[in-house]
């Protein structure tokens, strides 16, 4: 069945979505994290009454405003794409996505737009307390609006709380709370937010380091570094914990993704974690996505511990998942061939259901519905013939994951060293360190984007885990129009990014004496 879909259309639609999502994500994490950093700074101003903290708050608020304004509405493009390029998908999940996205829209509009105005226009016009409350509400509101889209994404990774209606071909929400509190969604939300806070902290640290390198605004920069380093250290340690929770959740619900990010082909008890590895350029002959390691350094038993908190637990590899395995909880996972068979039965049952309904044959429709329900769990597998087609791009998943983790550790080190140097009053003399911090700003963005590559590439070929492969989700549209809009987006977003960087750099050069005015 796979051959019925146009691979060029699928690839261009994916490329376009990836492009717009990744550009959108350049703006979002800084907004999410900087909002809280500003709120903390303003709280210090509120408590101490020290006017320098007001100046510090207003400066970072200016940079927040620029980033927020340039980034605002860039996410709407993704919704345009859902309706045009991914109509099968949008229809299939419409009822599930409707509620969270509507809540997000209302929340983002009312909470953020109201209190952002107070934040920027309200200095000296509203009371200090009301202004502080508004700043905190902007931070909370922007983070809560991220909740809903991440819950929706979590549902795609682990679809729960719904029932498929064969008459409408839509998944209908059965339990909102199951979707909201799905461990996948909750872990995703917490991990994404804490990593965004880390990015924002690195940003504040980096810009402040630039001032110290230039020997201007020294007191301002040192105070900003203290807030950013404490906030960043707390956030990055929490990011490690939420990442750890995510790993344990992924190994159960998306074992193939877990195997891919570790390049684990053959599972074992007491599996080792690849701390560093280099993959071969050519494939290992089984599938285009599977490449062996040329070189790797392993930490024995660590992967088993990471996955099950037991150094001797069995972790399934790609081949185990393909051939079927029994996990540590005693659950038997059928082979992919068995899943393909069940998926094909589900697809046939849906077709039969539709035909029977049209013909008015109730008995046949009821039987078809039963068959569909019995096999729906593996509906998406029915589109594949080769079991290895469910293997995601291993090298991309592996490298993205390891870069994300490596950079995360680097940021923790930066925050600790910053605090030590600040405490010992040595930071202004450590130029090598200040330069390293400054150049870590782009690395924070790389780590953040890598996180999304792990999440989205690691779960391929699924757009909804086990139910809908990416190739069936696309609309039957002309590939040329997708190519045109791909380059249009590339131009528009690159323009926006250049505008943001130019305005940001100008404000940074102006320094805190001009900020927030």
Partner 1 sequence: MSLVNTLIVEMHNTFLKIKFILSSIWKFYLEGFKNQNKWSRQIWLVILIKLFILFFVLKLFFFPNFLKSKYKTDQERSEYVIDQLTNPKK
Which residues contact partner 1 by CB under 8 A? 1, 4-6, 62, 65-66, 69-70, 72-74, 76-77, 80-81, 83-85, 87-88, 90-92, 117, 120-122, 125, 166-170, 347-348, 350-351, 354, 472, 475-477, 481, 484-485, 488, 492, 496, 499, 503, 506-507, 517
Q: For the CB of residue 478, give the shortest distance to partner 1 in the complex, in Å.
A: 11
Question: What are the DSSP calls for 357-377, one per residue?
Answer: HHHT-HHHHHHHHHHHHHHGG
Q: For the CB of residue 347, give the shortest distance to partner 1 in the complex, in Å.
A: 6
* 517 within 8 A of 80, measured Cβ to Cβ: no
Structure tokens at 188: 């995703």
DSSP 8-state code for residue 163: E
DSSP 8-state code for residue 426: -
Nearer CB in complex with partner 1: 224/475: 475
Nearer CB in complex with partner 1: 95/292: 95
Q: For the CB of residue 52, give the shortest distance to partner 1 in the complex, in Å.
A: 21
Nearer CB in complex with partner 1: 232/469: 469
Nearer CB in complex with partner 1: 352/448: 352
Q: For the CB of residue 487, give the shortest distance to partner 1 in the complex, in Å.
A: 11
Residues in Cβ contact with 423 at an 8 Å cutoff, skipping those fewer than 6 apart: none
Structure tokens at 106: 């209302």
Nearer CB in complex with partner 1: 340/350: 350
Please, what sign has the CA dihedral across residues 67, 71, 9, 93? positive
Q: How would you classify the pairing of strands 314-315 and 293-299?
A: unpaired
Nearer CB in complex with partner 1: 106/488: 488
Nearer CB in complex with partner 1: 125/424: 125
Q: For the CB of residue 353, give the shortest distance to partner 1 in the complex, in Å.
A: 9
Provide φ and ψ at 329, rounded to 5°. -90, 5
Q: For the CB of residue 35, give the shortest distance to partner 1 in the complex, in Å.
A: 17
Residues in the chain: 517
Q: Give the integer Cα–Cα distance in Å for 394 and 381.
A: 19
DSSP 8-state code for residue 335: P
- Token look-up 């209606």 returns 165
Q: How would you classify the pairing of strands 332-333 and 462-464?
A: unpaired
Distance of CA 428 to the CA centre of its chain: 36
3-class secondary-structure state, position 332: strand
Q: For the CB of residue 323, give the shortest distance to partner 1 in the complex, in Å.
A: 28
Q: For the CB of residue 95, give the shortest distance to partner 1 in the complex, in Å.
A: 11
Nearer CB in complex with partner 1: 5/410: 5
Q: How would you classify the pairing of strands 293-299 and 273-279?
A: antiparallel
Structure tokens at 311: 């150094």
């Amino acid at each position: 069945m796979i051959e019925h879909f146009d691979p060029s259309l699928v690839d261009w639609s994916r490329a376009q979505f990836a492009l717009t999502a990744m550009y959108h994500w350049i703006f979002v994490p800084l907004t999410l994290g900087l909002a809280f950093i500003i709120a903390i700074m303003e709280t210090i101003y509120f408590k101490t009454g020290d006017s320098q903290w007001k100046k510090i708050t207003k400066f970072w608020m200016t940079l927040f405003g620029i980033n927020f304004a340039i980034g605002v509405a860039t996410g709407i493009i993704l919704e345009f794409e859902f309706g045009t390029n991914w109509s099968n998908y949008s229809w299939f999940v419409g009822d599930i996505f409707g509620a969270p996205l509507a809540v997000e829209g209302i929340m983002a509009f009312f909470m953020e737009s109201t209190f952002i105005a107070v934040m920027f226009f309200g200095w000296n016009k509203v009371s200090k307390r009301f202004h502080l409350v508004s700043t905190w509400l902007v931070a909370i509101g922007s983070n809560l609006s991220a909740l809903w889209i991440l819950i929706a994404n979590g549902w795609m990774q682990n679809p729960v709380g719904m029932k498929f209606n064969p008459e409408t071909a839509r998944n209908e929400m059965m339990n909102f709370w199951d979707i909201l509190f799905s461990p996948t969604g909750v872990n995703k939300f917490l991990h994404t937010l804490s990593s965004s806070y880390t990015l924002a902290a690195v940003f504040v640290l980096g810009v402040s380091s630039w001032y110290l390198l230039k020997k201007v605004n020294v007191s301002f920069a040192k105070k900003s570094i203290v807030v950013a380093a404490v906030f960043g250290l707390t956030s990055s340690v929490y990011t490690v914990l939420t990442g750890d929770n995510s790993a344990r959740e992924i190994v159960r619900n998306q074992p193939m993704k877990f195997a891919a990010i570790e390049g684990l082909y053959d599972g074992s008890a007491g599996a080792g974690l690849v701390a560093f590895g280099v993959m071969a350029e050519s494939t290992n002959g089984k599938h285009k996505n599977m490449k062996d390691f040329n070189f790797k350094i392993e930490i024995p038993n660590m992967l088993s511990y990471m996955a099950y908190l037991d150094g001797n637990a069995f972790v399934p590899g790609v081949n185990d998942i393909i051939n079927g395995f029994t996990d540590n909880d005693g659950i038997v996972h059928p082979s992919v061939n068995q899943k393909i068979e069940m998926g094909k039965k589900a697809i046939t049952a849906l077709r039969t259901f539709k035909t029977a309904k049209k013909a008015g044959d109730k008995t046949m429709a009821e039987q078809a519905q039963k068959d569909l329900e019995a096999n729906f769990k593996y509906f998406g597998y029915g589109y594949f013939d080769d079991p290895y087609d469910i293997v995601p791009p291993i090298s991309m998943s592996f490298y993205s994951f390891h870069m994300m983790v490596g950079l995360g550790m680097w940021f923790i080190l930066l925050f600790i060293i910053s605090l030590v140097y600040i405490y010992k009053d040595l930071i202004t003399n450590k130029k090598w360190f200040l330069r390293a911090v400054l150049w870590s700003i782009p690395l924070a963005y790389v780590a953040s984007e890598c996180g999304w590559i792990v999440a989205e590439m690691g779960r391929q070929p699924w757009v909804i885990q086990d139910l809908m492969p990416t190739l069936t989700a696309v609309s039957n549209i002309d590939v040329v129009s997708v190519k045109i809009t791909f380059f249009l987006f590339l131009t528009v977003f690159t323009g926006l990014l250049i505008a943001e960087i130019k305005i940001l750099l100008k404000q940074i050069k102006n320094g805190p004496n001009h900020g927030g005015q």
